[in-house]
Chain A
């Protein structure tokens, strides 16, 4: 039981980093990026081919993958999403849906449906290994990275001018524009940051679990769950959201068997959605 909860919390840190990019994008432009999961898996595949194909060490591959996804984020926001944002919610949502279908099938075409994994030194190591409790080094590492990224992002958003321009755009687009903020550019920054973090999350996911081209769907739902539970647009909330989801998934698996553990996580998500349609930690001012 203690084991399940500790692992669940650590898994929650990993889930939080999956969700935080989606939360950022939603917070600023009210867009649910349905391609978020597939873009993250794209980052995973980029890391994998750099390592397997070119023999680049994992940390360098991860950095290159992040750089590549920053470019992808710029392209997607500048050439696709920015062009439909003022046409209402649905066109933007459907554009990301189209991107999602395109990406997952492109990966399927290139890599085939086989399971893949990223080999890394932490995967088989345990930090702590007693009878009552063992902690996997990879889970702990992911958790620490997740916390650092989220706290770092929170700090940037709260304390820097750049963060203020993003928050201003998020609160009131028109007022921000009148105060001299280039909101279109703020959108691009938000998407670029979101996808950079997604590439990092993708590398962590690929090092922890096996993945395949259609994994994006599963992680999109996890990201969505994290964001919903944490409150759409709240960066710190994603950490809480990730932990709730991670613990409920593993507790569900512990009680009802591992085959249905994701089912339990989905049910928890649906129940929270039905009871608190705006998220568990949503601030009162947000609609």
Chain B
């Protein structure tokens, strides 16, 4: 990449980061709340995209890790008085361990079997948690340890999570694993012939995604303050992730960012029409797949060659 261009990118990135840091000090409270949601959803979307868009692991079960993250926050910080941030981190670690435990079984399944297999795991967790006294059955846990945390503090937590997730994907795409992933995305048999270890690459992706999705679950429930099995492990988390990635553009880095912004703004706007938001989201998703299956970024890239966070190395 040309040096001038590189400097331009660094300056733009710095401006965006400074603007994001400035939000709590200059923006209104409602802007900050909206931005918090966008950042958390962005992290989830990036992880779903990492799996579905690159590794060919179309998962309908990422809500397992949202629930585990949220429940770890609830159980460890409320019942055991653990520090909130530590509890969230523990949740992410438990997510990875859980992912590792179920991966031998899940990775035997491919394609649609994997998608529904992972969904069945999440549904099984709903029933298991609803019958488990340790997590107070189906009636859920009020996370009173987070009530005194200020919205600004939650915003910064979400900011670190969101930027961290983008950074992880950004760096990954520039290492060997990123090359392997892009090869797998474009042509899996060719990638395997060139020596990509498909299974190990997929597993790495799955573990990274489970860690960050677990973190996102913790931060999300830091904001929500109450968790139940049916909400924590709800398929609607995956609906949101899928929606963001499809609208934004599957298999691109910018896609989930644009998708998260659109998703949060759209759902907030649709609050005015109770019960309509999911109906319209479903409709929009179907229409987008029909007319622009590559989403906004994919279509833009095809038409104009625009790439903002391109992982491609320059040839010049």
User: Is the CB–CB distance between A270 and B58 below 8 Å?
Assistant: no
A271 proximity list for chain B (CB < 8 A): 105
Closest to A266 in B: B124
Q: Chain A 240-266, CB within 8 Å of chain B: the 1/0 string?
A: 000000000000000000011011001
Nearest B residue to A92 via CB reads: B289
- Give Cα A181–Cα B84 distance, bound, in whole angstroms: 63
Does B131 touch A at the CB level, under 8 Å?
A: yes
B232-289 residues at the A interface, CB under 8 angstroms: 235, 239, 242, 246, 250, 275-276, 278-279, 281-283, 285-286, 289
Smallest distance from the beta carbon of A80 to chain B beta carbons, Å? Answer: 7
Q: A43-51, A67-75, A93-101: which one contacts chain B?
A: A93-101
- Asked whether A90 and B275 contact (CB < 8 A) given A100-B282, A274-B104, A277-B109, the answer is no
> Is B112 positioned at the interface, with any CB of A under 8 Å from its CB?
yes
Main secondary structure of the interface of A (DSSP, over half): helix
Could you tell me the distance between the alpha carbons of A85 and B76 in the complex, rounded to whole angstroms?
47
Asked whether A191 is an interface residue with its Cβ less than 8 Å from the other chain, the reply is no
Interface size on A, residues (CB 8 A): 43
Query: Do B108 and A277 touch (CB < 8 A)?
Result: yes
B121 interface hit (Cβ, 8 Å): yes
A102 at the binding interface (Cβ < 8 Å)? yes
Contact with B along A88-129 (1 / 0, CB 8 A): 011101110111111111101100000000000000000000
Query: Which residues from 15 to 49 on chain A have a C-beta closer than 8 Å to any C-beta of chain B?
Result: 32, 34
B278 CB contacts on chain A under 8 angstroms: 101-102, 104-105
Which of A98, A224, A259, A273 is in CB contact (< 8 Å) with B105? Answer: A273
| A105 and B279 contact, CB distance less than 8 A | yes
A-B contacts counted at CB < 8 A amount to 112
Q: Mark interface residues in B161-172 (1 if CB within 8 Å of A CB, else 0).
A: 000000000000
Bound complex: CA A217 to CA B235 (Å): 9
Which residues does chain A contribute within 8 Å of B250, judged by CB atoms? 90
Q: Which of B111-128 contact A (CB under 8 A)?
A: 111-113, 115-117, 119-121, 123-124, 127-128
Q: Judging by beta carbons under 8 Å apart, are B289 and A91 in contact? A: yes
Cβ–Cβ contact A32 & B116, under 8 A: yes
In the complex, chain B residues whose CB is within 8 Å of the CB of A95: 286, 289-290
CA A95 to CA B289, docked complex, whole Å: 7
With A and B bound together, what is the CA distance between A34 and B286 in angstroms? 13
- Which of B110, B111, B120 meets A270, CB within 8 Å? B120
Known A-B contacts A101-B281, A105-B279; A270 and B117 likewise in contact (beta carbons under 8 Å): yes
B142 in the interface (beta carbon within 8 A) = no
Assuming the A-B contacts A260-B127, A274-B109, are A102 and B119 also in contact, with contact meaning beta carbons closer than 8 angstroms in the complex?
no
Interface size in chain B (residues, C-beta < 8 A): 41
Q: Is the CB of A32 within 8 A of B283?
A: no
By the criterion CB–CB under 8 Å, are A94 and B289 in contact? yes
- Distance of B153 from chain A, by nearest CB (Å): 34
Q: How far is the CA of A108 from the CA of B276 in the complex (A)?
A: 10
Among B111, B120, B285, the residue within 8 A (CB) of A266 is: B120
Tell whether B183 is near chain A: CB-to-CB under 8 Å: no
- The answer to whether B120 touches A32 (Cβ under 8 A) is no
- The residues of B that contact A109 with a CB separation of less than 8 Å are 275-276, 279
Within 8 Å CB of B242, what residues of A? 94, 97
Assess the B115–A221 pair: CB atoms within 8 A. Answer: no
CB distance from A251 to the nearest CB of B (A): 16
* CA of A250 to CA of B238, assembled, Å: 30
**Is A236 in contact with chain B by the CB < 8 A criterion?**
no
> Which among A32, A101, A269 has the highest number of chain B CB atoms within 10 Å?
A101
Given A80-B290, A274-B105, A277-B113, A94 and B127 contact (CB-CB distance below 8 Å): no
Whether the Cβ atoms of B289 and A98 lie closer than 8 Å is yes
Does A228 interact with chain B (Cβ within 8 Å)?
yes
In the complex, what's the smallest C-beta–C-beta distance from B230 to chain A, in angstroms? 9
Given A91-B293, A109-B276; A101-B123 close (CB under 8 Å): no
Contacts of A274 in B (CB 8 A): 104-106, 108-109
Please state if B282 and A98 are interface contacts (CB–CB under 8 Å).
Answer: yes
Which residues on A sit within 8 Å (CB–CB) of B52?
90
Determine whether the beta carbon of A101 is less than 8 Å from that of B108.
no
Over the window 84-121 of chain B, the binary record of Cβ atoms lying under 8 Å from chain A Cβ atoms (1 yes, 0 no) is 00000000000000000000111011111101110111
- Sample (14) of A-B pairs whose CB atoms are under 8 Å apart: A32-B116, A94-B289, A95-B286, A101-B239, A101-B278, A218-B123, A221-B120, A221-B123, A224-B116, A259-B127, A263-B124, A269-B120, A270-B120, A274-B105
Known pairs A263-B127, A275-B108 / 12 extra A-B pairs, C-beta < 8 Å: A32-B116, A94-B285, A98-B286, A101-B278, A104-B278, A105-B279, A225-B120, A259-B130, A263-B128, A266-B120, A273-B109, A277-B109
**Chain A to chain B: the 5 pairs with minimum beta-carbon distance, closest first:** A102-B282, A101-B282, A274-B105, A98-B286, A105-B278
